[in-house]
Amino acid sequence: MSKLTHLTLTEARDGLSKGDFSARELTQAHVEAVEACRSLNAFITETPDKALDGADASDKRRSKGEAGVLEGIPLAIKDLFCTQDVLTTAGSHILDGFQPQYESTVSANLWAAGAVMLGKTNLDEFAMGSSNMTSYYGGVENPWRREGSNAPLVPGGSSGGSAAAVAARCAMGATGTDTGGSIRQPAAFCGVVGMKPTYGRCSRWGIVAFASSLDQAGPMTRGVRDAAIMLRGMAGHDPKDSTSVDTPVPDYEAAMNGDVRGLKVGIPKEYRIDGTPAEIDTVWQQGIEWLKAAGAEMVDISLPHTKYALPTYYIVAPAEASSNLARYDGVRYGLRVQGDTLDEMYEATRGEGFGAEVKRRILIGAYVLSAGYYDAYYNKARRIRTLIANDFKAAYEKVDVVLTPTAPSAAFGMGDKMDDPVAMYLNDVFTVPASLAGLPGISLPAGLSADGLPLGLQLLGQPFEEGTLLKVAEVLETAAEFDALPQIIS
């Protein structure tokens, strides 16, 4: 039997169903794997006792014939999801000691489906970052290394802890959140699959908010079929979330029949950006050839407002963040730094509790919302966002999905770009447009760079057509035959 931590989620599900091993055995193996990979700093909080108790309960349910969709599967949860009585930090000092008395809807759905929690994964503070270097709890190391070098690399962000944990075989899957690419970009950097569903597909209730009109939870796994299974367990309408869409959650796995003949795939010319490394274009062209060989039709399309997506995002997202983060004041929960007056306490708490990147975005957000600048910046950004969404709407009258690279480079070194916010923000150049339009997207590993690091391909789909997206992604995955392993692995 294969080492339990090296099974895919799909293989583990089938093995549990056949009785090849128990949920406790599977979970114990992953608890030990989490401990073995602590050097990566992928977890903020480990919950081994909770995991093993959950596994025992899972085995009992299975013996009664009550197995759920994710019965006995050990998962990691990004520390942006509130978990009842378990420390939830959002990677920030300002939430020191916060143990929610409630469970996020997404994590509650996963537990209802039979999954088991291994712990809470590290992330950029309040999900603000593309490297997982802004966390109060320190940066996460990517388990991959460049050939001939042991220099640590970033896992991408903000869901870098989740991506690293899945890549290092510490967890069979993990939750992430994607505001401008924070599932897809770290998935590409770590050689795993990351999916952002349509905005409204998964509830945002109980997820610490960054930008409410953009945030969306999604699965991070080692295979496309795994993502389909996990998404089914996560998704669903939630009356507690006013942006949750009341539409049935299909059996995504059933839609994955491997047949993409006649499907039209859009290739946007605006994603061919000057200065992009040749190996990114090469893997993109390889993806095109794989889909052609499978019987899909390539269609050149134009998304003319793409060049405005990044500046639009960095107006809309900080504006919403400045509003959302106003609730952290040291009064009700988390960190409190005393002052002589109430105002001084607010200022001291927020000054000490927030990191530099969070402060930068709060300041930008407050500026673009301020009197005299609201129309010049925020309202204009909202209008351009509509134009970006309309570009995609027009494209989907001609094509079924869109194929692009996921990121403009492979993983970079820890500490690189930290003194250049614009260079850091450019990591999201391929992922932000779909976030602004609320569309589903998936990244999957498709090849290796010249120095042996994973490169990702991104597929973007029509609203609530995750099934089509997953079907095409699995065809790409089969063609890519990506089986390379990171150097640091449990």
pLDDT of residue 485: 97
Short-list 34, 38, 16, CA closest to 25 = 16
**Superfamily of segment(s) 3-259:** Amidase signature (AS) domain (3.90.1300.10)
Where in the chain are the domains?
A: 3-259
First CA to last CA distance, the chain: 16
Q: Which residues of the chain fall short of a pLDDT of 50?
A: 1
pLDDT of residue 109: 98
Catalytic residue among 22, 58, 78, 322: 78
Question: Is 158 designated active site?
Answer: yes
pLDDT of residue 2: 54
Question: Is 130 designated active site?
Answer: no
Catalytic residue among 107, 130, 182, 435: 182
Number of residues that this document lists for the chain: 490
Question: Is 380 designated active site?
Answer: no
pLDDT of residue 1: 36
Q: Over pLDDT 70: what percentage of the chain?
A: 100
Catalytic residue among 130, 131, 135, 158: 158
